[in-house]
Amino acid sequence: MDRVAIVEAALDRAIAEAPAVDPHLQSQDPLTDGTRLSVAAALDLFEDQVRSRALDVAARDLKATGEGFYTISSAGHEDMAVVGAVSRPTDPAFLHYRDGALVMARARQVAGTDPVADTLHSFTASRDDPISQGRHKVWGSRELWIPPQTSTIASHPPKAVGTAFAIARARRLGLLDDLPEDAVVVCSFGDASLNHATALSAINAARWAQRVGSPVPIVFVCEDNGIGISVTSPRGWVATTASALPGIAYVRAEGEIDELWDATTSAFDLARMRRAPVFLHLDTVRLWGHAGSDVESAYRSREEIEAAEAKDPVARTARRLLATGAADRDTLAGIVERVRSHVAALTPGAAAAGHLSTVAEIVAPLAPHRPDAIRAEVAGRHLDPEARAAAHPRRLPEDATAPGERTLAVRLNAALRDEFVARPNAVAFGEDIGKKGGVYGVTAGLQETFGTARVFDTLLDETTILGIAQGLGLTGMLPIPEIQYLAYLHNALDQLRGEACSTSFFSSGQFQTPMVVRIAGLAYQKGFGGHFHNDNSIGALRDIPGLALAVPSRGDDAVRMLRAAVAMAAVDGRVVAFLEPIALYHERDLHGPGDGGWLTDHPPAGELALPGEVGVYGPDASDVLLVTYGNGVRMSLRAARHLAEEGIAARVLDLRWLAPLPFDAVREHAADVGRVLVVDECRRTAGGIADAVIADLAESATAPKLASVRAVDTYVPLGPAADVVLLSEEQILTAARDLAGR
């Protein structure tokens, strides 16, 4: 007999043989003296535990027949039904993957939901799965306010904290009609995941926010089963780690079902009343190994396995119900039989609707893009003249004439001000962006104009910044976070890769985390070295599915692109990375000192530059096409002037958007010119866009003559040594001459 059958048989024996008293309690009676758990609620909990267990059995049966694709079970974690029952469907929940019982209990509170059928559809990757449509097995539901995630290593707590942080702010703007004023956030994870830097970052952020006076109503639920796959947690590790943390209440939940209920209720009451973080430490046990493919006997002795099985929470609940007189054996056996029969009846047809089978339907929610709707949204918005004048206390940006008012940095500042006037739900935040106005002055004066509720400084942690952004986006805000330097983003990249950009994909568009992440980056900063302040690699960003990546080079383009980026977030729920070249922030000249060639006028209201729309300089030039972006635009324009003096007419194509790359536009111009030089300021190997552009052109029907110039694969050294490894104008000139045959 396998371990699943052994545990199932043990449950049946517990019901048939455990000590029992004659049922004498009424449905509304407390299960035991002094508890807040009623008999009726206790019986519901037992049924939800049995449902979760029966679904875990079905998952393994489906896997055995080749119809199912997921066997990480909730077996042993069925006490999470208590959390599902005590919390409300209006409490946003970010869940651990062993939370089947929680979902069963929460669904009981919402009429018309069928968590059994929904879970079976998810096991089989069926297109009938109401949350992901078969894209992945996730716990998620719009009706139950459970945003889906695949967080197996606690990568979801930062956005849970962000959501708790966002509730009060969003409600003040009337954005959360579906959440009551006393809503709290539920965030569950395992004891092993508690050690992950991301979980610790989130808990720290919640404590920090509480310390500075921001309400953060969240219940962290640590499901402590004492083991992470095969690695055991030290005895008492969770308690000693969490119980001594200042600024967060610690509640231990252990023992019988009524004791768990009372402790959990106390934890949620504390979070609701204080609007503060609470750590709920719940004892669980893991049955049947980590997943169906896990051979537990390889690292656990038979005695250890049997000891875990003896702590089966479903059997323990049955024994408690019998011992208190809440139910008789026939009642409990009837619940078990009814649930098992119901699951068995639904299992054969779980995959009847089939699976997603075309690229179009699979990727539909990944990166929605409706340019006509975006243009209409921007054209239709009204910028109140008085409000706009107040937002630009010196002068309106289109009236600015002084050189210092026409740089890239100042144009971005003006564009942000207009967005804040037009969008009351827009918020900006990050390290040093408030009082200081950003390291490079891009957000100067924004906090003074719009207040600390809309422009605020965060603690120094990029994971928290992006977690806050996700929470704000989930609650209807339009976050514009700033990452101080491109290299700092790598500390928190999974918050974009694994979380923000996957939300719409795994929820079929039912949940979205719109945001525009402003990032100062790229190289050519004089006097700076190292990989933090002069980072010239964007490969990690271009690798993220669904992420849009904008790289402006001039002030006017930056305004058009920022308008587009914010509208993409507002209309289509997109996640946009807006990478701003630091070296060009305050640049004024192009060809020589004092020429003002890099200063720009402010574009008229409504002008956008959407993905696919490129910038073209010298459109009639036909000797060589320079395809570039960012700092490369300025270098290529300077090179083009020198080439013209030599009789070589160079057309410069500014890609503007690097994800998605504007392949159609590049092909069109390449076909017209016939010779293409890709000017890529990032690292040669997978650091930039040259590989992708050249590969696409090489595979085109009329492949042009191709070449590229790129930076060296190295960190950027300090001082003059940087010039040795970064792309130079001289390299562009040499390559262009060779390509043109001169």
Amino acid 742: pLDDT: 78
Residues 6+ apart with CB under 8 A from 87: 93, 106, 184, 186, 219, 268
> What's the rounded mean pLDDT across residues 216-232?
95
Contact present, 512 and 711 (Cβ < 8 Å): no
- SS3 (DSSP) at 451: coil
Residue 37 lies in a domain: yes
Residues 296 and 187 in one domain: yes
* Options 533, 586, 642, 669, the catalytic residue: 533
Q: How confident is the model at residue 530 (pLDDT cuts 50, 70, 90)?
A: low
Task: Give the integer Cα–Cα distance in Å for 234 and 229.
Answer: 14
Name the more confident of 369 and 534: 369
Q: Is the pLDDT of residue 532 over 80?
A: no
Q: Degrees (nearest 5) of the Cα angle 132, 206, 284?
A: 60
Closest to 190 measured CA to CA, from 290, 267, 269, 298: 290
pLDDT at 381: 87
Same domain, 120 and 56: yes
Read off the pLDDT band of 528 (50, 70, 90). low
* Claim to verify: residue 636 and residue 495 sit in the same structural domain: no
Confidence grade of residue 527 (pLDDT, cut at 50, 70, 90) = low
One-letter amino acid of 182: D
Verify that 678 and 534 share a domain, yes or no: no
In this structure, which long-range contacts are made by residues 430-438, counting pairs with CB atoms below 8 Å and at least 24 apart in sequence?
430/457, 430/458, 430/465, 430/481, 430/482, 430/483, 430/484, 430/518, 431/457, 431/458, 431/460, 431/465, 431/482, 431/484, 432/457, 432/484, 433/457, 433/482, 438/482
Residue 1 reports pLDDT greater than 60 = no
- Which amino acid would we find at residue 634? R
CATH number at residue 735: 3.40.50.920
pLDDT band for 701, please (50, 70, 90 cuts): confident
Adjacent-strand bridge partners of 521: 581
Report pLDDT for 258: 98
CA distance linking residue 584 with residue 631, whole number of Å: 7
DSSP state of 715: P
**Residue 598 domain flag:** no
> Is a pLDDT exceeding 80 seen at residue 72?
yes
Percentage of the residues of the chain whose pLDDT score is greater than 90: 90
Q: What is the β-pairing status of strands 657-659 and 515-521?
A: unpaired
Query: Which tens digit of pLDDT belongs to each residue from 608-650?
Result: 999 999 999 999 999 999 999 999 999 999 999 999 999 999 9
Which residue is listed with tokens 């956008």?
Answer: 608
Regarding whether 319 and 200 lie in a shared domain, the answer is yes
3-class secondary-structure state, position 682: strand
Q: Which of 527, 561, 584 finishes a domain? A: 584
pLDDT level of residue 382 (50, 70, 90 thresholds): confident
Dist. CA 148–CA 87, nearest whole Å: 17
Is 156 noted as a catalytic residue in this protein? no
Query: For the stretch 112-146, what's the b/e string if a residue is b when 16 or more beta carbons lie within 10 angstroms of its beta carbon?
Result: ebebbbbbbbbbbbbbbbbbbbbbbbbbbbebbbb
Choice among 162-166, 292-296, 443-447, 713-717 with the minimum mean pLDDT: 292-296
Q: Within this chain, do residues 580 and 621 fall inside the same structural domain, yes or no?
A: no
Query: How many angstroms separate the CA atoms of 341 and 345, rounded?
Result: 6
pLDDT bucket at 388, cuts 50 / 70 / 90? very high
Distance CA 565, CA 559 (A): 10
Q: Which of 717, 722, 726, 617 is nearest to 680 (CA)?
A: 726
Q: Are 366 and 504 a contacting pair, CB within 8 Å?
A: yes
53 to 12, 13, 106, 275, 382: CA distances (angstroms): 13, 16, 16, 34, 55
Q: Tens of pLDDT along 294-350? A: 889 899 999 999 999 999 999 999 999 999 999 999 999 999 999 999 999 999 999
pLDDT above 70 for 396: yes
Instruction: Mark whether 629 and 528 lie in a shared domain.
Output: no
Strand ranges for 370-467 from DSSP E: 426-430, 455-457
Q: Are 526 and 671 found together in one domain?
A: no
Find the mean pLDDT for residues 266-287.
Answer: 97
Q: What is the pTM of this model?
A: 0.96
CATH number, position 455: 3.40.50.970
DSSP 164-195: HHHHHHHHHTT--TTS-TT--EEEEEETTGGG
> Looking at this protein, which amino acid is placed at residue 231?
V
The last residue of a domain, from among 288, 322, 349: 349
115 lies in which domain range? 3-349
pLDDT value at residue 718: 87
Average predicted confidence (pLDDT) for the chain: 95
- Kindly state whether residues 87 and 230 are assigned to the same domain: yes
pLDDT in tens, 237-267: 999 999 999 999 999 999 999 999 999 999 9
Within-domain flag for 600: no
pLDDT computed for residue 139 by the predictor:
96
Q: Output the pLDDT for position 525.
A: 87
For residue 661, the surrounding DSSP H or E stretch is none
Amino acid found at 506 = F
pLDDT > 70 in the chain, percent: 99
Q: Report yes or no on 575 lying in a domain.
A: yes
> Hey, is 734 helix, strand or coil?
helix
What pLDDT shows up at residue 289?
Answer: 87
Does 281 share its domain with 380?
no
What's the Rg (C-alpha) of the chain? Answer: 29
At 529 the pLDDT is 64
Question: Sign of the CA dihedral 272, 276, 277, 278?
Answer: negative
> Does 545 map to a domain?
yes
Q: Count of domains in the chain?
A: 3
Residue with tokens 């004089």: 526
